[in-house]
Each structure stands twice: as structure tokens, then as C-alpha cells.
A and B are shown apart, each in its own frame.
Chain A
Amino acid sequence: MKPEGAPSDARGASQPGPPNARDVRRATQEGVVAGATRTLLDDSGIRRSLMRIAHEIVERVEDPARLYLVAIPNGGIPLARQLALNLRQIADLVVPVGVLDTTLYRDDLMTTSARPALRRTEMPSAVDDHVVILVDDVVKTGRTIRAAMDALMDFGRPKAVQVVGLVDRGHRELPIKIDYVGKNVPTHSDDEVRLQPPLHGQPEELEVVVVARARGEAGAAGEGSA
């Protein structure tokens, strides 16, 4: 899998780098206690999950000929591509892969003065009557998926919409469910979870890491929402 641009979580995280050195640097810059960077899912784990998900999709979707994968940039893109390859491999399906940027549909744009950078949107064909599967790397509050559904509705009328989330880290704020999960990982709300190229690895590899934040300083210590 090729990593595409910066890895993403629901809010678009920063560039990857040597985890431990950076944690130390960040600790000094931001006063965060040097939390461990834990790998949640390594490259082979991601591959296994995506293969399993591909099988699940084929099992559950009634009419797999209508499938249409839509990646949410940036993290969803390599995952959707791999999923498309998997579907081709296991069921000989040629599934269109689109990219749908959700930035303009976000519900928090007007609350900050910095405007986030826009990303590419490319929908190769119409979504009408297709079973659209949104693909995202990390799902937390569910707001990105909601924004993606709004965006999708402006493109047409899908027959059905389902969601692939490689990592479900909990802390939902909207009633959004993930149909196909790679891994369920309980995290603290302040933690950062992202998809990124590993420190030591092949150029095309990816991993999911969690970076712990300082705890117990201000406000609720040790209690995140479930």
C-alpha cells in the first residue's frame, strides 16, 4: 500500500517521524508527559484486516456488482485501494474507487479562524443505485462520516451506504455505526490515533499508532467517554 500524503484521523493529524524522539521533543515543547507511542496495528495486521473485511463485504452485500468504494482522504485512500484489489482477487469484482473530501461539509469550520486546507475529490462515476462503502482509517466521534454522507447525497442517490473503519476508537458523538471494523481499540479521548508509515519499514508499509497525551493535569483525569 502506498501512503498518500499525510495520514489522517478525524481531524487531520501531523506528519510522521521517529516516534520516541518526537515524543521527547513534544514533551519539552508542549509540556506533555512523554507518552508512549504504541503500535495498534502493524502493516501485516492491516493487510489481514482488509482481507477479512473484503470477505465480509462479499458475504453481506446482496449485489456486489453495485459496489462503489469511496475513500475519505487522506488515510482512507490507500485502504480503499487495497480493498478494491482484495475484492478483485477474491471475487473478481471491478469496483470503482472514488475520493471524497469532507472538509467543506464539516460542522466545525466556522469555530476556528484557521481554515483547513482542502483535499482532492474525484468521483469517477455516478453513485446512483450503487452500494457505496465509505472507507476511513480511524473513526472516533463519527462527525467525519456524517459529513461524508452529506457530501455523498450531493452527488446522487446511492442505493445504500455502509462504512468501513480500519480502527474504531470509540467516543462517538453522533449515532454513526461502522459496518466493517478492522480493530476495536479503547482509547482515551485525548489520545491521538493515526495511520502513518512506520519508522523502520518498507516505503509502502503503513501502521496505526496511538500517542498518549498528558493525563490528570486539568479537568477530568483518567475518565474518557466510553
Chain B
Amino acid sequence: MTVSRILIRGGRILDPQSGRDERADLLIEDGRVAALGQGLPVEGAQLLDAAGRWVVPGFVDMHSHLREPGQEYKEDIGSGGRAAVAGGFTAVACMANTHPVNDDPAMTDYILDRARHDSPARVYPVAAATKGLKGEVMTEMAALVQAGAVAFSDDGKTIMDSGVMRRVLEYSTLVGVPVITHAEDRTLVGDGVLNEGPVATRLGLPGNPAIAEVVHVARDLALAEFTSAHLHVAHVSTAQAVELIRRARERGVNATAEVAPHHLVLTDEAAQGYDTNAKVAPPLRSVADRDACRAGLADGTLDAIATDHAPHAQHEKELDFTEAPPGMIGFETAAAVTLELVRAGLLSPLEWVRRLSTNPARILARPGGSLAQGALADVTLVDPERVWRYDPAKGFSKSRNSPWAGAELTGRVVATLVGGRLVFDVERGVLV
């Protein structure tokens, strides 16, 4: 049963598109924002009390792994979608490194079809940039965009051949969607599993040096400038990469970038005790790198926060540190973890919302990130003060690999609406 009118009353509206930051009511009608103002009438509408809450455009996650098709034991589009809305994400972009790879319009179709049936969140497929993610032959970009792909990426792998990367970027200008680069020179990474530095030395683990990322970010920015393509740098983790992006943008290069919550908050020290939940690609870095990412997010060099939600089964994470697959789940902790930057004074609440919602929507050229009249009613309610203990077993993802398992967090998404429909409520859980 769909409710056609919903009044969200008394919340603090944070709408980066219009710059509004004020206490007001929001009226939703037939899946769209109908009105925003003081003392709106409640007759005929379902009431959602938002006193003490922030009312923001639904978060959009530019980078996630939903594991379907092929690895449904870790996650599928249904469970991923549920975890997403539980974290306030009304839309997620999913990467192509599934089994089989999403390098074909039929596969993109399949994903969208599954999403329609199973996922309460909108799902935007990112298609592979090269066939089979082999880094050799580019995919049929026009056909894939027509099937619904929003961007291209070999994320999970890297395009090592610079000649191939050049042609991928050049060709992408035909369809005008971003090429998302997982920038890591594999020959510099070697067998590294943790940031190369004093922590890896003490733990006796092979190191993955910061320059592995820097070298490819430099290469890809130069290629983007050369080809005038839209390059989007995924999960930036190093200070030098932030600086390279900043200077490229100053020169007018069409480059955007994202950063993950874990790179904003954790460092390689999190791997003490060999906790494989702290194993991620790119790895958690030094304090200086973390601080540079925070500064980059604050000054706009890094446009978006993207979770890189990467579910893995418990038996996989129980392998030793070199064997365990890298990655952590992130939908349900992103808000709380990144609110720390607001609390630290690095971002205003409005700017925080812009990086979680407006900017990602803009980069992917999807609707969202706005509470303007007529906009899609994808709305998230946040209680920034709420203290809660995160138990991944009680979450909606099939997997539990999070370094915040058992941690006390401050700030929580308390309700999520997609297209005007309440799909998540913190008391009752996911409602679809």
C-alpha cells in the first residue's frame, strides 16, 4: 500500500542544492517533493515527526559491490539494497566485478531487473571498462549506456596498460559518462597487503607503498587532460593523490574524486593484532594521508564520500592476512563514521550532505541530492546525536566484515524514503 502524501514535520532541512539550512516541514506527494515551508497542513497526509532530526536528500553511494551475480553468499542485490537504505542510501552504484563480469548489456539488464524486484534502493550499474576486466579490449560503451550503465570502471582490477587506458578515456567521450579509475600500479603494489610503513614493518607484513596510488593517479589525470574525458578517481587514500587532483582541477581538468569513510577516519594502526577487517584496497594509510584526505574533502578537492561497500564471508576473512580478501562493508556505518568530520568542525552539516548526496548524484548525472520542489522524494532522516552500538549481525547485509563491529557510534539514520515511500525506519527495520 503506497501512501501518496507524507508530511515530514519539524526537522532541520539541509538542502545543498538550494543552500537551505533551516527548520521547516517537507510535504511529499506522489513520490515527489511537493512543498517545503513552515507550518504545512497535515490533513490527508501520513505524519513523520522529524523533531531533532536532520532532513536531507537521500544519500547516493557512487561505489559499492553487490556481488550479484556469482557471489550471492556474500551479498545480493536484495540484501545490499536493504543494507543501503538502512544506512540512508536511497541509491547505490554497483561495480562490475561480479561473476560473470558486467561487461555486456544483457548483464546490465539482469542487474537492473533484480534491483527492480528485490532492492528498496535505486541501483545504478557501473559497467566494466574492458572485457572481462582484463584490461585489454574496451567494452561496448554505447550499448551499455543504453542498457542503463551510469559509468565505466575496471574497479577490482586496474588497467595497467596506459595505451588501453588512453583509448578507454577517449572513447568514453562518445557517451559522456565518467570513467572511474581504481588507481593502483600493480607492479608497485607487489604482494603488499598493508600500507608500506612502520606499522607493516613491525607486523612483518609486505607493504603496499603510497606511490602505487600516486603513480596511477598522476598517469590517469594526465590522460584525462589529454583526452578531455571525465575521469573519476575512486577511493583516494594518499596525500599526494589529493594534491595531484587539486592541481589538475585548478588547471581545468574534468576530474572528480571520491573518498571512503575508512580512509577519513582510520589509519594502518587499525591492523594491529592482524585484524583482517582492516585489510582493504587501497590500504589504510598513515596519519598524514588520512589528514590530507580530510582536508581534501573539506576544500572540495574530493567531491564525494563513497563507501566501497565490499562484503566478504566470515570464512574468507578468517584466512591469514595475505589470503583474506580485502574490503569492508560500509552502508550502515557511513553516516555515523563520517559525522565525525562534522563534529570536528571540518565540514558543516550542509557540506557533509552535499558530499554524500548532491555531488555523487551530479557526477553520475542521476536525479537526487536535492529537495527542490518536484524533485524525487528520496529523503533520509538523520539523528546526529543518537548513540548506538553497531552489531553487524543485526544489520541487513549478509556479511559482517566491519572494523566497527561492536563499536559505539554517534549519529544514525532513523528513516529513509525512496520515491516518497518509507522503506526504512530504525525501530521497525527495512519495510520492504
Direct contact of A and B (CB under 8 A): no
- Which B residues are within 8 Å of any A CB, using their own CB? none
- Which A residues are within 8 Å of any B CB, using their own CB? none
